[in-house]
Amino acid sequence: MLESATHVGLQATDGPLTIDQFGAESARIGRSIADEYHRYHIETEEVDDADPLPHRFLVKVGKVGLAKLIGKEALKYFGQFDVILARPCTYGVFSGPVGGFVPRPKLCVGCLRCEVQHPEFVKVLPNPDLLTLGDSYTTPGHITAIDEEAKKGMVPVRGQGYRGRFGGPGFDGMLTDMSEIVRPSRDGIHGRELIGTAVDIGSKPMHLSFDSNGKLSGSIPEMFTIQVPFIFDLPPGDLGTPQLASVVDSTSRRIDTLACLDAHTVARLGLDAPNIVPVLDNTEASRVSEFPNARLIELRSSPDRPWGWDAAGFDIATEATDAMIGIRIHFEEGWQNRMTQAVESGVKVIHLLADLHGRGSDDTFVTELFKEAHMLLIEQGRRDTVTLFGGGGIVGADHVPKAIISGLDAVTLDLPVLFALQGRSNGSLRQRKQVAGTLPRHLDQDWAEQRLTNLCGSWRDQLLEILGAMGIREVRRLRGEFGRSMIVKHLEDEAFEGIAGYVGGDC
């Protein structure tokens, strides 16, 4: 304390400090440092809908039946208006000036009390329009969850237990672990202890080297830090509009993360900034110098070498800028070699990409692919020299920790942005280039920024819930912690081994 405080600026005096002076001065400096400290937090605020999703239920009320009931009850309970006017809904579906004659289905939560109480003339039906959202992977359930998270910015909390299938494919087949008696846990979730969600982007040497004078002689860490382990990726398909670029720019700045944007868009809109990651084709590598404020610039494969590693492009880019150069690698055949070559050439950020259903070209799911990439780098003794981003199939808050457990440093978000902004998709959402969608016609910048901020706040808080349950104090420690996950298939093999008819978790 004495040394660091003196270094920070202990006031010079005419003579040696007394103990009291030293204590007072140390306290002053400490207070000053503490006052500058800001606990990272994402400010969320509920926002209205711009283009609401179809509500969950349709409510059909037979008007004749209702009229008969009212007539009957008016006679039976003559004068007892509390009884006559009582309606079987606490959510207001049958409230309003004309009561149940014009029900308000958007308020219905599907408790079915009305339908059970009055089976003769009330029906509650699942809204088929809701089921048309998304596709087979990004389901209406994912989309409605994202919509709620982006609207409220809170962790969705509900009663009753899990309602879905047992285990399942993809991320559903992975469970996260917990511990019964660990800290920081809930205290961390509520901010009484710190659970860090910051991640370092860049490269750390596997060890430090010193010369004979004790000074550093080898490479030193080249990193910068973002506050959440997710970044915005290039908008897929036809979604890359200037309005959207502006929204992800301001949101990423606000929450201290990154946004990958097409370099041409960045240049055209003048968005060059530390929070923006311009993405260039390899053939345009020399253009990196046009983005002097970028901390990270990504190169993607050239059209003529769609899946190849282009060392020349990387060299050109590295020469032309001080920014880190990252490489986007698709999970196509031979990706392992390309990643290895890239890392050997000095690439510090690898951005791995599966399709939007989270599958590589051989149909392997991303949890396995991320794990393979992570382990490959560990086997090569290089893991800390590289930051791994990964994207594809991340459409739920639980997917973030599961992807990080699988080996990533940070995940990249694509489709969640569309649905957070109440956009609509049309057709399959599997191939990035083929994604067709529409955003609300009048995309208000402030509204959209708050929606995205809310989504990030909600997902970060849910990440804290997962980390807290494990007793893990920072998300960096979660990377590649396979022991913090359980694979349903493996658990089934262990539990059901020997039971007649059980032939393995894939059966």
Q: What's the closest the beta carbon of residue 89 comes to another protein, in angstroms? A: 7
Please identify, using beta-carbon distances, which residue of 164 and 214 lies nearer to another protein: 164
Instruction: Please state the three-class secondary structure of 432-461 as a single string.
Output: HHHCCEECCCCCCHHHHHHHHHHHHHHHHH
CA distances from 67 to 98, 113, 191 (A): 12, 19, 54
Long-range contacts of 84-92 (CB under 8 A, 24+ apart): 88/113, 88/114, 88/117, 88/118, 89/113, 89/114
CA distance 299 to 345: 14
What residues numbered 360-379 form the site for another protein, per CB under 8 A? none
Distance CA 299, CA 304 (A): 14
* Smallest separation, CB 390 to another protein (Å): 19
Among the listed residues 320, 375, 436, 486, the single contact to another protein using CB under 8 A: 486
Task: DSSP for 280-317, please give it.
Answer: EEGGGGGGGGG-TT-SEEEEE-BTTBTT---HHHHHHH
Question: Is residue 502 part of the contact set for another protein (CB under 8 A)?
Answer: yes
Interface residue with another protein, options 8, 67, 178, 220 (CB under 8 A) = 178
Largest CA distance in the chain: 102
**In whole angstroms, what is the distance from residue 443 CA to residue 441 CA?**
6
Contact between 500 and another protein by CB under 8 A: the answer reads yes
- Residue matched to tokens 């502006």: 246
- CB of 40 vs another protein, minimal distance in Å: 20
Closer by beta carbon to another protein, 8 or else 116: 116
Site string for another protein, 91-120 (x = CB under 8 A): xx--x-----------x-xxxxx-xxxxx-
Asked whether the CA dihedral 194, 195, 198, 204 is positive or negative, the reply is positive
The enclosing H or E element of 324 equals: strand 324-330
Question: Could you say which residues in the range 443-472 bind another protein, by CB under 8 A?
Answer: 462, 465-466, 468-471
**Residue 43 and residue 154: Cα distance in Å, rounded?**
10
DSSP conformational letter for 246: H
The reply to whether 182 sits near another protein by the rule CB under 8 A is: yes
For another protein, the closer CB: 20 or 180: 180
- Regarding 128 and contact with another protein (CB under 8 A), the answer is no
Number of residues counted as binding another protein (CB under 8 A): 85
Considering only residues 393-422, where is the footprint of another protein by CB under 8 A?
397-398, 402
β-strand pairing of 174-176 with 122-126 = unpaired
Minimum Å gap between C-beta 472 and another protein is 11
Question: What is the DSSP annotation of 2-71?
Answer: HHHHHHHHPPP-SSPPPHHHHHHHHHHHHHHHHHH-------------SSPPPPSEEEEE-HHHHHHHHH
Tell me phi and psi for residue 392, to 5 degrees: 115, 110
Contact call for residue 176 and another protein (CB under 8 A): yes
Residues 67-96 touching another protein, rule: CB under 8 A, are 73, 77, 79-83, 85-86, 88-92, 95
Task: Tell me whether residue 201 or residue 466 sits nearer to another protein (CB atom).
Answer: 466
Under the binding rule (CB under 8 A), the answer on residue 147 touching another protein is no
Which range binds another protein by CB under 8 A, 176-184, 244-252, 257-265, 405-413?
176-184
Applying CB under 8 A, which part among 177-185, 193-201, 344-352, 358-366 lies near another protein?
A: 177-185
Closest separation between CB of residue 251 and another protein, Å? 22
Residues 296-315 touching another protein, rule: CB under 8 A, are none
* 483 is an interface residue for another protein by CB under 8 A: yes
Q: Which two tokens stand for residue 400?
A: 């973030």
Of the pair 263, 470, the CB lying nearest another protein is at: 470
251-290 residues near another protein, rule: CB under 8 A: none
